[in-house]
């Protein structure tokens, strides 16, 4: 695989640089799911902090191959991440730049590719990965406000905005909860096509809408139905349900449905 070949070359370069501590791989590498379409996720650990210093990050990235372009990951809240596109081979590589202290705080157990002093292995043995799990109360407190937002945009005729809203609900709420129900990590909607049973995937497909108010409202209705089903199965009695908001928003959904019918008639 081109990802493995790239990683092996990068590891050899890291081992020759006295300013580096080691290199590790994450992402699809860990689950043995690398294929021709996969990105490569690397973690570069250096003696002195490089994360957040774009100049130093770019200098490191240029050592690893024919760098076409790269940008830092502020848009995902991670300025220590450099998102790179290489050529020969054409490959997307995400490089996270960490110090040894930062390496200990992780969401998964990376595979060590280069460990000059054995410090990465020691860090993994002494610390534990913690994947961020969604807070059910946080979701419940927001869900019905979000649904109301989607309904208002549909009522106004902002169909692209409403369709984007449905995508956000899948990524932030439905995808993670469905994966948790399957005993998997809540990675949004990443690879749900391969990780959910066909019957469940059909339910999720029902939340995808066409550019049409009736289709959008039908998809929104499916979002509500699926969320309530997941809530009943996953939430315990300690989660306070926003019953008043739920009731009022569902009544408003019926009002918007009638408006949409009149517009189409």
Smallest Cα–Cα separation from 23: which of 127, 111, 104, 92? 111
Distant-in-sequence contacts of 87-93, Cβ < 8 A, 24+ apart: 89/2, 89/5, 89/6, 91/2, 91/3, 91/6, 91/39, 91/40, 91/65, 92/39, 92/40, 93/6, 93/39, 93/40, 93/41, 93/42, 93/61, 93/64
Q: For residue range 167-210, list pLDDT tens digits in order.
A: 999 999 999 999 999 999 999 998 999 999 999 999 999 999 99
Angstrom distance (rounded) from CA 36 to CA 4: 11
Provide the whole-model pTM.
0.86
**% of residues, the chain, pLDDT over 90:** 90
Angstrom distance (rounded) from CA 116 to CA 15: 6
Q: For the chain, give the mean pLDDT.
A: 95
Which DSSP symbol is given to 80?
Answer: E
The domain locations on the chain are 2-126, 136-264
Question: What pLDDT score does 66 carry?
Answer: 98
Question: What pLDDT score does 29 carry?
Answer: 87
Question: What pLDDT score does 265 carry?
Answer: 63
Given a cut of 90, whether residue 264 has pLDDT beyond it is: no
Given a cut of 80, whether residue 17 has pLDDT beyond it is: yes
Given a cut of 80, whether residue 241 has pLDDT beyond it is: yes
Angstrom distance (rounded) from CA 11 to CA 23: 6
What is the CB-side half-sphere exposure of residue 258 using CA atoms within 13 A?
A: 5
Which CATH number fits the domain 2-126, given the four candidates 3.90.1150.10, 3.40.50.720, 3.30.43.10, 3.30.460.10? 3.30.460.10
Contact 65, 8 (CB under 8 A): no
Residues 6+ apart with CB under 8 A from 93: 6, 39, 40, 41, 42, 61, 64, 84, 85, 86
Q: For residue range 206-223, list pLDDT tens digits in order.
A: 999 999 999 999 999 999
CATH 1.20.120.330 holds for 136-264: yes
């Amino acid at each position: 695989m081109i990802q493995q070949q790239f990683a092996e070359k990068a590891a050899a370069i890291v081992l020759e640089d006295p300013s580096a501590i080691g290199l590790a791989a994450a992402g699809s590498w860990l689950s043995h799911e690398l294929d021709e379409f996969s990105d490569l996720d690397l973690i570069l650990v250096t003696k002195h902090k490089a994360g957040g210093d774009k100049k130093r990050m770019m200098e490191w990235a240029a050592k690893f191959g024919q760098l076409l372009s790269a940008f830092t990951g502020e848009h995902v809240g991670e300025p220590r991440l450099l998102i790179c596109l290489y050529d020969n081979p054409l490959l997307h590589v995400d490089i996270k730049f960490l110090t040894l202290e930062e390496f200990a705080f992780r969401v998964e157990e990376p595979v060590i590719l280069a460990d000059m002093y054995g410090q990465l292995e020691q860090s993994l043995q002494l610390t534990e990965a913690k994947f961020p799990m969604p807070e059910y109360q946080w979701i419940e407190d927001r869900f019905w406000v979000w649904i109301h937002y989607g309904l208002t945009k549909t009522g106004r005729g902002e169909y692209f905005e409403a369709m984007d809203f449905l995508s956000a609900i899948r990524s932030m709420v439905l995808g993670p909860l469905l994966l948790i129900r399957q005993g998997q990590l809540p990675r949004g909607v990443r690879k749900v096509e391969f990780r959910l049973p066909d019957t469940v995937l059909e339910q999720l497909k029902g939340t995808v809408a066409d550019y049409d108010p009736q289709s959008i409202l039908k998809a929104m209705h499916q979002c509500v139905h699926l969320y309530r089903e997941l809530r009943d199965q996953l939430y315990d009695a300690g989660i306070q349900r926003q019953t008043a908001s739920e009731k009022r928003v569902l009544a408003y959904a019926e009002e918007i449905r009638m408006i949409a019918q009149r517009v189409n008639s």
